[in-house]
Amino acid sequence: MREQKFRGNVFVANLPKGFTDEDLAKAFDPYGIVVGAFLARDAATGTPKRHGLVNIAPERAASEAVAALNGMEIGGRRIEARLADPEMALTIPSRLQPHSDAPSRSAAPRGAASRGMSNGASGGASYSAPTRTPRPFVVERVSLPPRRA
């Protein structure tokens, strides 16, 4: 599978240990629409590093967030926030990439995955929830009464 890159418009550094992608998104949420937030990860172990990228919209919200959060203390550390260079990108680990519509293969017995169960003897195999198909919707066309003058 091809590596996917995440490009953000805000670079954040000096984050506290244990900070997650979700924590990063929540920190920027008051300033605009957080399209995505990812921490850089160690290529060998997958453990998060203490810097990341946030993609926040609209563009002026990114500037406002940088002005408000740069130098702010979070978790005992003074973070650094600045507008990201357009070339900055993070490789998204495969476990965080969106799942395709193809059925997943797991160690759960056939039929258990569709019921949302896994067998306890799977030997630590990863389990992913079955993908849900969107429910269909119906568009009705109704004639409106003529306008009164």
Nearest CA to 76 out of 27, 11, 14 is that of: 14
pTM of the predicted model, to two decimals?
0.59
Architecture of domain 4-86: 2-Layer Sandwich (3.30)
pLDDT above 70 for 101:
no
Tokens linked to 86: 């357009």
> What residue spans define the domains of the chain?
4-86
126-to-2, 38, 46, 103, 107 alpha-carbon distances in Å: 21, 22, 15, 14, 8
Report pLDDT for 69.
94
pLDDT tens readout for residues 21-47: 999 999 999 999 999 999 998 888 889
